[in-house]
Structure 1
Amino acid sequence: MKNPILFTLFYCISILSFAQEIKIVDKPITYDSNRVRLSLQYLKERHGIIQNTPTIQPKIIVLHWTAAKTFSSTFNAFNPAKLPNGDRKDIAIVSSLNTSSQFMVDRDGTIYRLMPENYFARHVIGLNYCAIGVENVGSADFPLTDAQLKANIELVKYLSKKYNIEYLIGHYEYTKFKNTSLWKETNPKYQTGKNDPGADFMLKVRNDVKELNLKGVPTK
């Protein structure tokens, strides 16, 4: 298309059309003053970032699985602002802020938005301050579905057109960002082992969003 004005108009219409096609159901978890306070504290103490609002500038999309079999069980786990007493001792040692993510995809492919997309969520060590998390109901023993695959592809495309997304990774790849400028975790020894959402799932998603030219793990 040689006419730059026509090209720009076509591009804008394409983005608007895609935004209208994707269906997202808003089902917010509790994001009260307590969660705001804990999120700001986490940003300061874990990422070394001081700010007045619990917002992020998304650069990374991180795909996860919930390790649970139902949407409701994970939603109920994410909903309290604080980790329940005695729960997740491996991460509770650094903060009482509960885990969460911006999105969760149910087994039938329904995309739920759990909070505003640019709000802070605790879902990936070292990168929360710039990462949008997408949880998928499932696990290694409860494989993710074709409907979830399709929904993740649509969501990655939607988010990449809306924000300045540079990276698309699986949760199991997050430690590859250590020793890069994006990694911001004040305790160099703090990390947990992850294998979600599986290498096969990530390969399928990446193959279907190749045109976005998103990076995977950093190359040294």
Structure 2
Amino acid sequence: MFTFFCAFAILKSKAQTFRIFDKPIVFDQERENLSLQYLKSRHGIEKETATIEPTMVVVHWTAVYSLESTFEVFNPVHLGGRPELTAASNLNVSAHFLVDRDGTIFRLLPDTTFARHTIGLNYTAIGIENIGGPDAPLTKAQVKANADLIRYLNKKYKLTYVIGHHEYYAFQGTPIWKETDPNYLTQKQDPGPKFMRKLRKRLSDLNFKSKP
């Protein structure tokens, strides 16, 4: 049975109230060390703490169809069962936020903690995962929740880019792209053009960029 911490934040976004429930994944010393190694080996960045300076949000879908199962995927420190990714690092994938199908928002990591979710951009990107995928299209409630959350994050960090995971290829070959292996890429289709069109319509007044 999925449980979450009682702590939550009540936030104002575009004159509306919404909540972020805290459900932290494991981020112990081992995960921090693996994150620091990833920053150095994959992004060419040496840091004392595994933190990021956000300039963008990358929106994903989970392709895992329940909140409980998705949390179980992200929570372990080590990545398992994905040889195309473990060759680059044994650090598990994760994201900062997870949005359930009814629009409930869970915070898995602090906004500025490093998370492995988008090749070449992890060092500067906040990741938002949405429960759903090809067999369960994302919902109207998730569109609204993502828009509210991104407005909140923009107030904190003055973001420049909001992209779908399937759009990350556009950053290759630019100064923003930091991946030491030019052949390390994965093919992504999430969350898809339809979802991003709906999300961008709600955020049109903020003039976020979708490409460099």
Q: Percent identity?
A: 54
Aligned equivalent of 1:147: 141
Q: Kindly provide the CA deviation profile for residues 21-58 of structure 1, in whole angstroms up to 9, marking residues without a partner as x.
A: 23100000000001000000000000000000010000
2:184 corresponds in structure 1 to 190
| 1:46–1:185 CA contact under 8 A, matched in 2 | yes
Which deviates the most, 208-217 or 95-104? 208-217
TM-score when scaled to structure 1?
0.89
* Bigger helix share: 1
Q: Kindly indicate whether the alpha-carbon contact (under 8 Å) linking 2:12 and 2:152 is maintained by their aligned counterparts in 1.
A: no
Do structure 1's residue 162 and structure 2's residue 156 form an aligned pair?
yes
CA distance in 1, matches of 2:84, 2:164: 20
Which runs of structure 2 are paired with 1:80-95 in the superposition (5 Å)?
Answer: 80-84=76-80, 87-95=81-89
Say yes or no: does 1:30 pair with 2:30.
no
> Whole-Å Cα distance in 1 between the matches of residues 105 and 27 of structure 2?
19
Match of 1:5 in 2: none
Which structure has the greater CA radius of gyration?
Answer: 1
Moved over 6 A (4+): none
Q: Take 2:47 and 2:62, find their aligned partners in 1: how far apart are those partners?
A: 29
Give the letter for the 1:139 counterpart. Answer: G
Candidates 78, 84, 94, aligned match of 1:100: 94
- Classify the secondary structure of the residue corresponding to 2:201: helix
Q: Number of paired residues?
A: 201
Q: Which residues of structure 2 form unaligned runs of 5+?
A: 1-10
**Match in the other structure for 1:68:** 64
Q: Which residue of 1 aligns with 2:194?
A: 200
Residue 132 of structure 1: how far off its partner (Å): 0.2
Inter-partner Cα distance in structure 2 for 1:184 and 1:151: 29
User: Aligned partners of 1:111, 1:38: CA distance in 2, in Å?
Assistant: 27
Is 2:17 the partner of 1:18? no
Quick one: which amino acid aligns to residue 51 of structure 2? T
Question: Which residue pairs with 1:41 in the alignment?
Answer: 37
* CA apart distance, 1:83: 0.8
- How big is the alpha-carbon RMSD for the aligned residues of Structure 1 and Structure 2? 1.2
SS at match of 2:13: helix
User: Are 2:95 and 2:126, in contact at CA under 8 Å, matched by a contact in 1?
Assistant: yes
Distance 1:64 1:131 in 2: 12
Alignment of 1:54 onto 2:80: no
Q: Output the CA distance in 1 between the equivalents of 2:164 and 2:134.
A: 14
* Aligned equivalent of 1:112: 106
Kept in 1: contact 2:12–2:18 (CA 8 A): no
Q: Is the CA contact (8 Å cut-off) linking 1:140 and 1:198 kept in structure 2?
A: no
SS in 2 for 1:62: strand
